[in-house]
Structure 1
Amino acid sequence: MSAQTRGSGRTGRPRRKDGNPLSRFFRAVSLFVGQILDELRKVVRPTRSELINYTIVVIVFVTFVMALVSTVDFGFTKLVLWVFGG
């Protein structure tokens, strides 16, 4: 019975020697960088007007949240001072 008919997953081809660990490391880094560059080519960048709109939305939202947190903080400060007599 041969290795192929047993279903061991081995074939008749010889095993490849990968070389030293440093060589494997640089091949892995090269593959990783190549995959990063492939993904960056797929990125859709916003137009100038979209970027301005997104920036305005973020600034308005952050300002709103700051006002909300400041109001709640002011309210809790007054409440604590009233409860504990400040």
Structure 2
Amino acid sequence: MNRQMKRAQRRQGTTLDRARATAPARRNQAVADRKRTGIRQFLKEVRQELKKVLWPTRRELVTYTIVVLVTVVVLTTYVFGLDVVFSKFVLDVFA
């Protein structure tokens, strides 16, 4: 919230300062109510979540890998070309 909005709220008599003062108290209470879980429970939940993941097939993985490699080669070549052009330009102008 910016300064102008705060001034407008003060003129109208409505401010959010009271709501902001109670928000951290609620947050601290929510944190205190949660029970810590052990490493065994954590790993069990991680395993359950990983079972839900839709893993790519081998064909999709190969396709994605090829796309990434081709993109890297094309962009590297483009940047190299720009570097050569600009370095020749700078050498011609300042040499």
Question: TM-score normalized by structure 1?
Answer: 0.59
Larger radius of gyration: 1
Structure 2: tracts of 5 or more residues without a match: 1-34
Distance 2:86 2:38 in 1: 55
Residue 89 of structure 2, aligned match among 79, 82, 85: 79
The correspondence of residues 24-63 of structure 1 with structure 2, limited to 5 A, is 27-63=37-73
What RMSD, in angstroms, separates the aligned Cα atoms of the two structures?
Answer: 1.9
Runs of 4+ in 1 over 3 A off after TM superposition: none
Size of the aligned set, in residue pairs, is 61
**2 CA distance for matches of 1:83 and 1:29?**
65
Q: Counterpart in 2 of 1:64? A: 74
- Between structures 1 and 2, the one with greater helix share: 2
